[in-house]
Amino acid sequence: MKCNEVRRQLVALADGRLGGSQRDSVLAHLRECAGCRELMRSLEADATGLRQDEPPEVPPFLTTRIMARVREAAGTSAGPVRAPVPARRLIATAAVILAATGIWLGASLGRVIFRQEFEYHDRVAVMECGLPLDGLANQLFGE
């Protein structure tokens, strides 16, 4: 095995990820090659140092700033979807117009029904009692 082939495998060997014949070949090379052995020792020292290192302490302001950013992002992109203010105003205006139209339509329909009812009773009164009520509906409803 050549040095550069071995050196590419050294990290895997240091991590314990190298097995079988690959591992045997690398170990055989390390027994004979001082340069690769030295590199392997250096890698193992680094790995041990990394494993022993305490995780870096996170400064409190960093957590506060990150959480503020998260809340900010959540406030702008998440949450319930709302129609923009102009659209809401348009909807409110449409509702008012619709309600006014409904009231006007109801009142007009009521007048027509009341008038028809009155005219019917007018005719009935004329037929039954001979009372001259003809034209009273027109006087009352302005026609």
Judged by CB under 5 A, the number of residues near Zn ion is: 3
Q: Judged by CB under 5 A, does residue 33 bind Zn ion?
A: yes
Q: Closest Cα to residue 2, out of 41, 32, 38?
A: 32
Cα separation, 141 vs 112, whole angstroms: 10
- From CA 100, how far away is CA 119, in angstroms rounded? 28
User: Per CB under 5 A, which region of 30-38, 48-56, 113-121, 130-138 contacts Zn ion?
Assistant: 30-38
Q: Is 3 in the site for Zn ion (CB under 5 A)?
A: yes
Piece of 11-19, 25-33, 39-47, 50-58 that binds Zn ion (CB under 5 A)? 25-33
Element (H, E) at 130: none
Q: How far is the CB of 18 from Zn ion (least distance, A)?
A: 15
Name the minimum Å distance from CB 3 to Zn ion: 3
* CB 43, min distance to Zn ion, A: 13
Q: Could you say which residues in the range 35-54 bind Zn ion, by CB under 5 A?
A: 36
DSSP string, 45-63: HHHHHHHHSPPPPPPHHHH
- Choice between 13 and 36, CB closer to Zn ion: 36
27 scored as a contact of Zn ion (CB under 5 A)? no
CA dihedral 29, 30, 34, 37 (to 10 degrees): 150
Structure tokens given for 137: 């509906």
Burial class (CB in 10 A: 0-12, 13-18, 19+), 78: exposed
Stretch that binds Zn ion, among 27-35, 46-54, 86-94, 96-104 (CB under 5 A): 27-35
Q: Which residues bind Zn ion (CB under 5 A)?
A: 3, 33, 36
